[in-house]
Structure 1
Amino acid sequence: MSATPTRRMVGVMVLIPVLVALALWAFAWPAARTAPRDVPIGIAGPASATARLEQGFEQREGAFDVHRYDDEAAARTAIEGRVVYGAVVATAEGPRLLTASAASPVVAQLLTEAVTSQAPAGTQVHATDVVPTPAGDPRGSALAASILPLALAGMAAGAVVTLMKLRGARAATALIGAAALVGITAAALADSWLGVLGGPWWSEAGVLGLTVLAIGAAVSGLAALIGTPGLGLGGLLMVLIGNPFSGAASAPELLPDPAGLIGQWLPPGAGATLLRSVSYFDGSAAGSAVLTLSLWAALGLAAVLVGGRRRRGRPVATAEHRAAEPVPVG
């Protein structure tokens, strides 16, 4: 057995466990360390009535970021604008809880448990879901489950464009066209058929398509710049890290630091946040997610175009060089 096949054999034996360990870390670590970390919530009512409620939340150090509002109307506006995940309103009858399960069913449940545990014995906590999940997805699980297929679709688009050796403008056009068709198809399935999304149809299709384009362009752009290893790097970023760090199944504020922040910088997390905003909150707090996805898409497409020009230039230069070489006689 030659040295090269032996090294390859050993490399495979070592690489596979490393990849498995990385995947388990990326997926299991955030799930095992899920807990509230500076989750923005609101407290509404006069200071004399909310002091006890505020003190109860502050006792859970680092868990909640408390925002104060004058009344219930202001708290509802903050929830609908995605400033806070929920709010507690102090009333003469006792605390009234406002949640938004569409923002995160997990956070809504945590708030319910936190407020109920703080309420005096015998006091009933009245809860209102200000922005509920749609009837087709009451637990919000379908939206969370859609992020991995979008990541895989973007990964597949980038890989196919690379392996089919499409370059420059043709590669960029293929990525944009594939992403647009995926967005339309996904919206037709998730909104029109399953009823798990409740926003403007074309806006949802645009979000889904932009998410796929950001991932596909990034993967193909990396491959155009550094070659085939770029596909592996793209898969690592978008699938093994981007998907579990997205916070789609819970909330970015429930993930251990810095996973939640990193997840929002990557297309899967930004796509999940933007899809929630467009589908359930009339586009509120969508700016940062739009910017993140647009930057990934633009930089990826730019890399595809630049990489295509570089690759086209190499054969030409080689041909010119060969033409300039003297032809041997005899």
Structure 2
Amino acid sequence: MSGHRTWREVAVAAVALPLVITLAVLAFAWPAGRLAPRDLPVGIVGTGTASQHAVEGLVHKKPGAFDFHLYPDQQAARSAIRNRDVYGAFVISSHKITVLQASAASTSVAQLLGQVGQQLADRATQQAAERAATGMHSSAKTPKTPKTSKTPKTPTVDAKAVDVVPVATEDPRGVVFSSAVFPLTICAILIGAFVAMAGGLRRPWQRVLTLLVACAVSGLGVYTVAQGFLGALPHDHVATWAVLSLVLISISATAAGLIRLVGPPGLGLSAVLMVFVGNPFSGATSAPEMLPKGVDYVGQWLPPGAGAGLLRDTTYFDGNNGAGHLAVLALWSVCGLTAILFGHRVKGEARGTKTSAPASGELLPALPGPGAASPIRRHAPAHAHAHRHDGDD
């Protein structure tokens, strides 16, 4: 028997654990290694020839990378950026390209749009030079060209970036914001595990109340560090604290609910779901539209991704486009809290720990003192009577 157990443990150590580690690395490394724009919503200001050429060039060079939205003027494009309809916009004219971006939405996307704007400017400059060279070649064949004519100067197209919604000055690269998602997930699972397995919390409402208080206090602590110490969440202080607390509640309630429903395996299930799927698929370090197709949708339906999106919407964009993220977090929170209220842990609580009632005909008063007649009366089992009759015969 011990030999079979030894081989099972060897198999777990040699096969199962390496497989889990490999899948975990794949879950984190694959999305990060395949970052690229996929239907990234951006704006184009104007419908002139220069704008049309720019769109055609981007579609030809990067097919499927951008989802273009046309706006009549720069003010409409800025409003669309603040409303979270697009990540940025290109204002294109014959001599200048202005890139409207929002580093608060994603620093990586803002950098990408800046690079694309510079590429458009270089391409426009090259085309202008080619047209100028063609014109010079045509004029050289004309015999009436005056000798005193000067070589025309090749026009250049400049690119300029304007940050419509900038990230906090204390966190210019947005690393504090993005790096806070992972520890939030881990700590929320720890809160859920403690609440689910704490022996002193015997009533479901006690577990729910303890979880809510712990998440609210933890959210305040996270906000104190992220804003009070690092200055990374500069706007809408109360709303930002509430979002942090809601993110913790959605994850911790899910973990606690799974543990109450299926026992200790629920802790591993919640860790896999939130840490190894939710975190790498959240798009917190870039944007959901920069992740591989399908991964972005999965991530936004899990609390880490929805929480990161709602935190951005609340902190920098006045809550615009945050309704969907809020609904996802609320759904996970309600399901988790419901599981805590009506779920149970394994065997002991499922079957109950009540003392069994005495059998019929038994009297169980207090034990008598020495020498006293015992008042306890018990019916002998049927097989005992049978043995007694056999002895008499």
Superposed pair shares fold, TM > 0.5: yes
1:1-330 matched pairs, under 5 angstroms? 1-59=2-60, 60-91=62-93, 93-119=95-121, 120-121=124-125, 122-165=156-199, 166-167=201-202, 168-308=204-344, 314-315=351-352, 319=355, 322-323=356-357, 329-330=379-380
DSSP 3-state at the match of 2:352? helix
Distance 1:272 1:57 in 2: 29
Q: CA deviation at 1:92?
A: 5.0
Cα 1:34–1:309 change in 2 (3 A) is: closer
Letter in 2 for 1:77: S
Q: CA deviation at 1:169?
A: 1.0
Q: CA deviation at 1:260?
A: 1.2
DSSP 3-state at the match of 1:96? strand
Distance 1:8 1:203 in 2: 49
DSSP 3-state at the match of 1:87? strand
DSSP 3-state at the match of 1:174? helix
Deviation string, structure 1 residues 214-257 (Cα, Å, up to 9, x no partner): 00000111111111100000000111111111101011011112
DSSP 3-state at the match of 2:117? helix
Letter in 1 for 2:225: L
DSSP 3-state at the match of 1:323? coil
Letter in 1 for 2:74: E
Distance 2:50 2:7 in 1: 73
Preserved CA contact (<8 Å) 2:247 2:329: yes
Deviation string, structure 1 residues 42-77 (Cα, Å, up to 9, x no partner): 001234442112212222111000011010000000
Distance 1:198 1:281 in 2: 12
Distance 1:205 1:300 in 2: 21
Letter in 2 for 1:267: P
Distance 2:275 2:345 in 1: 28
Letter in 1 for 2:19: V
Structure 1 stretch 13-22 or stretch 136-145: which is displaced more?
A: 13-22
Distance 2:300 2:350 in 1: 37
> Stretches of 4+ moved more than 3 A in 1?
46-49, 308-313, 324-330
Distance 2:15 2:92 in 1: 59
Structure number with the higher helix fraction is 1
Aligned length: 327
Structure 1 stretch 167-176 or stretch 220-229: which is displaced more?
A: 167-176
| Aligned Cα root-mean-square deviation (Å) | 1.9
Distance 2:58 2:217 in 1: 46
Distance 1:20 1:207 in 2: 32
Gap regions ≥5 residues in structure 2 = 126-155, 363-377, 381-393
Structure 1 stretch 45-54 or stretch 248-257: which is displaced more?
A: 45-54
Structure 1 stretch 49-58 or stretch 286-295: which is displaced more?
A: 49-58
Query: When the two structures are superposed, what TM-score results if normalisation uses the length of structure 1?
Result: 0.94
Q: Which has the higher contact order (CA 8 A, sep 6+)?
A: 1
Larger Rg: 2
DSSP 3-state at the match of 2:13? helix
Gap regions ≥5 residues in structure 1 = none
Distance 1:139 1:146 in 2: 14
Quick one: percent identity of the two aligned structures?
41
Distance 1:289 1:187 in 2: 19
Preserved CA contact (<8 Å) 2:259 2:345: no
Letter in 2 for 1:294: A
